[in-house]
Amino acid sequence: MNVNVVGSGFSVGIEFKRQVYYFGPAGDIKRVYAATWREGAAGTHGRDSEYIIRGLDAGLDKFLNQYLKANGK
């Protein structure tokens, strides 16, 4: 998760990473962490930090709903 604020603008980003495997060029199995889900938002905050937090909350709610739908409750 990241939050960036520059002047009156902001961006928030949320990623879910997990271990994934793939075959390398030599046919060997490679193991890396990769983002399997990503959400982000950007806008202006008007000096109201609650606006940024609401954007972050919306992204987290979206992730949790999709995670529960995919993995059962």
Q: In 3D, which of 16, 10, 23 has the Cα closest to residue 63?
A: 16
Predicted pLDDT at 35: 93
State the pTM of this model.
0.69
Domain ranges of the chain: 2-71
Is the predicted pLDDT of residue 24 greater than 80, yes or no? yes
Predicted pLDDT at 73: 63
The per-residue pLDDT for range 50-73, each reduced to its tens digit, is 888 888 898 899 999 999 999 886
**3-class SS shares of the chain: helix, strand, coil, % to 5:** 30, 50, 20
Q: Give residues with Cβ within 8 angstroms of 48, minimum separation 6.
A: none
Predicted pLDDT at 61: 94
